[in-house]
Structure 1
Amino acid sequence: MGAMRLRRCGTDAVLVEVDSAGEVEAVRAAVQAAALPEVVELVPAARTVLVTARPGGLPAVRRVLAAVRSTDPVDVPTREVEIPAVYDGPDLDLVATTAGLTPDEVVALHTETVYSVAFCGFAPGFAYLTGLPEPLRQPRLDSPRTKVPAGSVGLAGEYTAAYPRSTPGGWRLIGRTDAPLFDPRHDPPALLSPGDRVRFRAVR
């Protein structure tokens, strides 16, 4: 693992700064696997993990962090979630052309991959999924849409995701799903959580 930087956040939290999504996952998984009673919240992001502890609990957290290595396997139970998707997005042809593939090959690549939820943000239930195949790692649109329909499946940079509700957005849209990505009546309300494994299944 590269240099891990710890920044104190108030009296009972620490922000862990790392250099890659893989290192974020290593930190998140290690803290979760330690099952410290002192930890009350664990919030991964693109290159950081915020760990909030009970009063006096930070020393235990720091001991776990000191032992983290990005190459160490961490045995943390994970859920596997399958998301059905219709691949008829408005940017499917653009993604295919940019990747030098046919639209069917784009769909095959996207559905053959097992993704990992790196973190959630932007909107409730919006999960950033890592593991996107290299040909599908493409930039956002030059001009973002003012309204992306709920359920849209898109990709941008190293991530793929599905929009839980209608919002503006600049991701390249390749499909849509009717999976219940966020429902405040459910517990938990978000379908996906950091660490979950996700597969997309093509449907018609």
Structure 2
Amino acid sequence: HRRRVIVEHFNLLYPALGRNADIILGIGEEIIVSRPSVFGPLPESIYQIVHTSLKFRKMAHTAEDVTMQTLEDEYGIAENRYFSSDVRNGFVLKFKEKPEINLDELEQRVKERLARHLEVSYFDEGHIRLGDKVIPCDGSRFHVRNTSEITDFSLARHFIFDAKTNTHCLVGLIDKYTENLDNRNTQYFLTRKCSGDNNEQ
């Protein structure tokens, strides 16, 4: 019988089976699809890449919601003026019309909110509780538990124009590497380690 079995968390089963999967799918900040051979990749290697990147995705998603709330509360910029996209270890808000805001000031105001150590929790499928407020969120189960867990937050110092979508991109980052934004996704993808080293960032 030529049947396929789909196993979640195959990395836990692999040591007992002694054979690798035919296809490994890892979902974290990126989606990794691999057809392992005798030379790997091993399931644990894919797991380490995905698991390590997941914390950054959660930090970025929560920071995005805090930024969106700050835009609405303090600048009167509602969510219907932009749409979300993503970048490695960060987020992107794409505006059809470039807003006239000081990005240094916005960054400082977001950092002040993050420093309040606001609790973050699931409210329902379309909302989270952020501190004492219930706010809209498309990924309500995908957050850090407290804004104090978000480290190295920054905003790009200028809007980046995306000619493909004809939008002005507000870029939020969750790491110290703010240079070469035009090739950021490639740089992160090509420098990933597969050894299980959690200190690759």
- Same fold by TM (over 0.5)? no
- Larger helix share, 1 or 2: 2
TM-score band, normalised by the shorter chain?
A: under 0.3
TM-score (ref. length: structure 2): 0.27
The structure whose residues are more often strand, as a share, is 1
